[in-house]
Structure 1
Amino acid sequence: MSVSTSFTGQAAPYAGGDPYADYRAPDVGELPFAHLPDLADRRLGGSVTAASDEFFAERENLVRTERAHFDPTTFGHKGKVMDGWETRRRRGPAPDAALPAADDHDWAVVRLGVPGVVRGLVVDTAHFRGNHPAAVRVEATAAENAEGAGATDWVELLPRTPVGGHAANCFAVDGVERRVTHLRLSQYPDGGVARLRAHGEPVADPAWLAALGTFDLAALEHGGLAEDASDRFYSPPAHVIHPGRSREMHEGWETRRRRDAGHDWLRLRLAGQGVIRAVEIDTGNYKGNAPGWASLWLLDAATPGAGWRPALSHTPLRPDAVHRLLLPDTVGPATHARLDVHPDGGIARLRLHGSLTEAGARGVAARHRELAG
């Protein structure tokens, strides 16, 4: 693995005002994995199933979607209330050996909401200024239908590495081509971590997809991926393939206002080669900022020389509404889809219902076997 951007040392004590004013974080553009979804996100079903200790702050905070909150006035029976996972201070066996041993550490096991290949990690120590760990380590395993704590087949994603306080410590993961379901975060020797982000590529279970038959080929939980978009000013395009309905505007994909003659777009990689039969374009919560029209284009990258072809052309969109559209039987197979929105605006969800082709099903099964470790 290689380190993208990490920090060391303690941050200065909180001095009032905006608690994020002295927060240390890299520019998102510096991170090669920033465009990939956080597979541990609570919105996707991520959960923290076990921890060695959570005396000061609960382990479940590690996978919360929103950034960590800090209120300098909030104290409880055990001390300062922190929005993260914080353990008690470790001690040695005697006054002349008061510090913990070099290998002493606390750990927490995170079950990913969507299994997949982890490409990048963010160990966020926001607001842990003098009480963050000196170093962390992250391992992964594939433990289907289990909580992961008892797993023995752990592979290292991040070796024991120093981290800094009140910072987004970011690490690219290289050379671990394996589908995993759980992560184990170890902190040396103790302390607090606000959030753990595991950016990566989803890898669905082919047996589950085969049992479904017809499903949303673009859905993140089925192996779909938002590859790129013309604009992500207000929110990322990956939101359109999240599970469930968008509850608020920020849970969709919204672009800035255009002042030119162009239009915005997003590009999706489908779960595998498949045939789309029905499309849902949801503009939920976009009441004064929905696009006026949308077009859908398809690409079959499995066919040499194939280009983008239209599936829906300039379809009018209504604000705050679900648009259900049927595609003709002649639409043909596709591996990618591109939604053009005219001229700009917000899309809450995009559903592309269909089924895998025989070649697509074989490809999904082969990739699953390849990444089984």
Structure 2
Amino acid sequence: MVADQLPDFTKCTEVAALSCGGKVIFASDDFFAAAEGMLRDNEPIFIADKYTDYGKWMDGWETRRKRTVGHDWCIIRLTGPTSIKGFLIDTAHFTGNYVPKISIQAALLTANADSVAPSRKPDVIGRAPSNRDFDKMARLKSNDWKTIVEMTELKPGYDETRYTYISNTEYTDKYTHLRLNLYPDGGIARFRVYGDIDLDISPDMSNTILDMFAMQNGGRCLNYSNAHYGHPKNLNKPSRALNMGDGWETARRLDRPAIIEMTEKDVLNVPGCEWAIFRLGTMSTIVSIDIDTNHFKGNAPEHVTIEGTTRGGDFSTTFTDSDWTVILDKVKIQPHKLHCIKKELKNVGPFNCVRITMAPDGGISRVRIFGQAFIDKQNGDANKPADDVPVENVPVENVAINAGNSIEIPEKNTTENVESVETVTSDTNQQHENSTSD
């Protein structure tokens, strides 16, 4: 299906993928292919001559032909507490062995709920849980979870019938876990869940420093200029990028000059730029920023600019250039490096949206924007400014950071690919097209 024909909910964060922190907690059967297979990022593939000890290898989740009472099911933990907007069930390549019907149940569980489940072994193909394992799972009472998708028919995995999109507008509560029911058995290539993660901020968290850009804390891509090789949604995944395809990479700009020259200020004299707009998990003052070009060795951008703004409502209104305030101004970017940036910040907010601009084009694998929740003193709401109260941006030199704060920072390679940054002072014009959030 063409991208501009996809349902609107597919623009939301994908919250079940393995790379986004989704996890299979339990599956009633993994005989032909493990349930984790349907949570992979890549498009499903078919290898005609590939077999395992248990039968044909398939890219997805496939259970055995059921010869006992009941039906198959699995429990999936989402990236975080999510207001679910919709689902995609893809049966690609499952033509004579696809699941005929599915339903989906959901629950909001405590952080320790997963400890009830038996551990998942690395290689579960050809196996099924024991009766004792099923007894353990019974403690979660997943049979009684709220049904948010009634029994729905799927179609075989041919190109013209493989996709089933299901919108969810009725059940808007937050959920942490899903139960996917197969009726009665069979295969699914991919199961994708889309929604919004909302970061719950209490007043006593106002001094806690978090990665406000991270998807698990509610960061979300709203719009972008180009995603030819890799989507900017990848920028705020929890882990470091696995490869170039796991980052944001644009096409080479066609307006680049035939011969590249330098300006008088030692900056590449190339026109144009590419941009992506994100909302942060909550209204935040910025403490530090990481820009990671891991794996981008011959195609990193020349420099990066990051700007911020405040936006109330549902983030669906148009952004204009005048909305933005510079947070980080034209920082030189090195290939295959992790750039840890603090002293170069020009303004720290508060902001609840950021625009990341790379010039002239190229790839970035991850961005981390660490900040503190800005609590509106009038109404205690950290998610948006009061509509009638202007929010003043704070110059970076006026922000005092409590040295006792705990900072949640992802694991970094502190040797070969950590790079200090150099600020580019060029006034090269970077025109942005007006952009509308999704």
Fold equivalence (TM over 0.5): yes
Letter in 1 for 2:108: A
The aligned residue for residue 154 of structure 1 is: 145
CA distance in 2 between partners of 1:293 and 1:329 (Å): 16
2:167 to 169, 172, 188: 172
Q: Which residue of 2 aligns with 1:96?
A: none
What is the root-mean-square deviation of aligned Cα atoms in Å? 2.8
Q: Give me the whole-angstrom Cα distance separating, in 2, the residues matched to 1:208 and 1:244.
A: 28
Measured after TM superposition, the shift of residue 280 of structure 1 is 1.6
Q: SS state of the match for residue 33, structure 2?
A: coil
After TM superposition, give the deviation of residue 338 of structure 1 in Å: 0.6
Q: 1:238 to 1:139 in 2, by over 3 A?
A: same
| Residue number in structure 2 paired with 1:61 | 37
Which of 275, 293, 308 matches 1:298?
308
For residues 142-198 of structure 1, give each alpha carbon's deviation from its aligned partner in whole angstroms, at most 9, with x where no partner exists: 112213852455223322111111112222222221111111111222211122111
Q: 1:211 to 1:130 in 2, by over 3 A?
A: farther
Q: TM-score, normalised on structure 2?
A: 0.69
Map 1:37-52; keep pairs closer than 5 Å: 37-52=13-28
Distance in 1 (alpha carbons) for counterparts of 2:51 and 2:352: 53
Aligned equivalent of 1:258, options 239, 253, 256: 253
Structure 1 counterpart of 2:356, from 323, 327, 339: 339
1:239 match: secondary structure: helix
Matching residue's letter, 1:34: T
Count the aligned residue pairs: 330
The SS at the match of 2:26 is: strand
Partner of 1:129: 95
Q: 1:298 to 1:138 in 2, by over 3 A?
A: same
**2:80 equivalent in structure 1:** 114
Output the CA distance in 1 between the equivalents of 2:349 and 2:274.
25
Of 64, 75, 87, the residue aligned with 1:88 is: 64
* Alignment partner, residue 428 of structure 2: none
Cα distance in 2 for partners of 1:302, 1:80 equals 52
Cα distance in 2 for partners of 1:156, 1:286 equals: 44
**Mapped pair 1:284 → 2:300:** no
**Distance in 1 of aligned mates of 2:154 and 2:223:** 31
Tell me how far apart the structure 2 counterparts of residues 193 and 264 of structure 1 sit (CA, whole Å). 36
Are the counterparts in 2 of residues 40 and 114 from structure 1 also a CA contact under 8 Å?
no
Describe the shift of the 1:28–1:330 C-alpha distance in structure 2 as closer, same or farther (beyond 3 A).
closer
Report if the CA contact (8 A) 1:40-1:197 is conserved.
Answer: yes
Contact 2:328 2:345 in 1 (8 A): no
Q: Map of 1:261-272 to 2, 5 A cutoff? A: 261-272=271-282
Q: Confirm whether residue 74 of structure 1 aligns to residue 50 of structure 2.
A: yes
Deviation at 1:270, TM superposition (A): 0.7
Q: Secondary structure of 2:4's partner?
A: helix
Kindly provide the amino acid, as one letter, of the partner of residue 146 in structure 1.
A
Specify every segment of 5 or more residues in structure 1 that has no aligned partner in the other structure, as ranges: 1-25, 93-99, 367-373
> What residue in structure 2 maps to residue 363 of structure 1?
381
User: Once the 2 structures are TM-superposed, how far is the Cα of residue 203 of structure 1 from its aligned partner?
Assistant: 2.5
Output the amino acid matched with 1:43. Answer: S
Query: Whole-Å Cα distance in 2 between the matches of residues 119 and 298 of structure 1?
Result: 27
Name whichever of 322-331 and 39-48 sits farther off. 322-331
The corresponding residue for 1:242 is 237
Instruction: Output the CA distance in 2 between the equivalents of 1:283 and 1:203.
Output: 28
1:349 has 2:399 as partner: no
**How far does residue 237 in structure 1 lie from its aligned partner after superposition?**
0.6
Residues 195 and 212 of structure 1, relative CA distance in 2, 3 Å threshold:
farther
State the alpha-carbon separation in 1 of the partners of residues 87 and 329 from structure 2.
Answer: 39
Partner of 2:426: none
Secondary structure of the structure 1 residue equivalent to 2:11: coil
**Deviation at residue 233 of structure 1 after TM alignment:** 1.1
1:272 and 1:363 in contact (8 A); partners too: no
Query: What is the rounded CA distance, in whole Å, between the counterparts of 1:334 and 1:268 in structure 2?
Result: 11
Between structures 1 and 2, the one with greater strand share: 1
With the length of structure 1 as denominator, give the TM-score of the two structures: 0.80
Partner of 1:206: 201
Counterpart of 1:290, as a letter, is A
Instruction: Quickly say closer, same or farther: Cα 1:111–1:119, change in 2 above 3 A.
Output: same
- Distance in 2, matches of 1:362 and 1:346, equals 38
Q: Secondary structure at the match of 2:238?
A: coil
Checking the alignment, whether the CA contact within 8 Å between 2:283 and 2:383 is kept in structure 1 is: no
- Partner Cα separation in structure 1 for residue 204 and residue 227 of structure 2: 30
SS at match of 1:34: helix
Whole-Å Cα distance in 1 between the matches of residues 204 and 165 of structure 2? Answer: 33
Please give the alpha-carbon distance, in whole angstroms, between the structure 1 residues aligned to 2:38 and 2:204: 30
Residue 313 of structure 1 aligns to which amino acid in structure 2? D
- Distance, in Å, in 2 between the alignment partners of 1:336 and 1:122 is 28
User: What do residues 87-142 of structure 1 show as CA deviations (whole Å, max 9, x unaligned)?
Assistant: 232358xxxxxxx8xxx532111111333122121112122111112211112111
